[in-house]
Amino acid sequence: MKPTKEQMANSMPTIFAVLMIAMCRLLPHPWNFVPVSATAIFGGIYLNKKWAFILPIASMAIADIFLGFSLFDMPFVYGSILLAVLIGIWIGTRRKNKAAFTASLVSGTLGSSLIFYIVTNFGSWLTLGLYTKDLSGLIQSYVMALPFFRNSLAGDMFFVSIFVISYELISWFVSRSLKKSAVIVAK
């Protein structure tokens, strides 16, 4: 069945977002300072569950076509992104209480960055052969990845803040405009 023009128009913002996120991974940037995990968290908070999972995974896959797939450790990377969506869904359940939402947003973003660091570096240690397969090698993999963790955490906090604040401000302005329009129409 061919999509209607309305369906195509409704999907354009999502397609645009996927391409922009993929582009962020392709353009020069500090290692791991990208909006992918932030997109997963944001999607979990605000999008329906289907799109919350599709958006970050599709953007990762598109960028990986150009960057190259690493068959061995990519399940750990993609799995960590899916966990970030679940964290976003959890954060989204706290939206009605601003204090709880803010605390959950900060702790959830920190937790997501930490999970990504732990899971992906475990995957690298396990599958890539860069480190000895003992506790010493595992510890070395985590120590060597600390600069990447710093960038992941900074990027996640930065992009989640930008996405959530932008969304909330736009929602507030739209809601306010609709209320003013309703008052004008009622007169």
Q: In percent, how much of the chain has pLDDT > 70?
A: 80
Q: How far apart are CA 131 and CA 84, in angstroms?
A: 27
Tokens 């507030």 found at:
172
Number of domains in the chain: 1
Above 90 in pLDDT, residue 59? no
pLDDT, tens digit, 9 for 90 and up, residues 142-174: 999 999 999 999 999 999 999 899 888 888 887
Above 90 in pLDDT, residue 9? no
Residue 130 lies in a domain: yes
Ranges 9-13, 38-42, 87-91: which has the least confidence: 9-13
Range of the domain at 108: 12-186
Residue 5 lies in a domain: no
Ranges 2-16, 81-95, 166-180: which has the least confidence: 2-16
| 130-137, Cβ contacts within 8 angstroms, sequence gap of 24 or more | none
Q: What SS3 string covers 121-181?
A: HHHHHHHCCCCCCCHHHHHHHHHHCHHHHHHHHHHHHHHHHHHHHHHHHHHHHHHHHHHHH
Residue 4 lies in a domain: no
Residue 37 lies in a domain: yes
Q: How far apart are CA 55 and CA 36, in angstroms?
A: 9
Q: Which is more confidently placed, 119 or 66? A: 119
Q: Give the mean pLDDT of 22-47.
A: 83
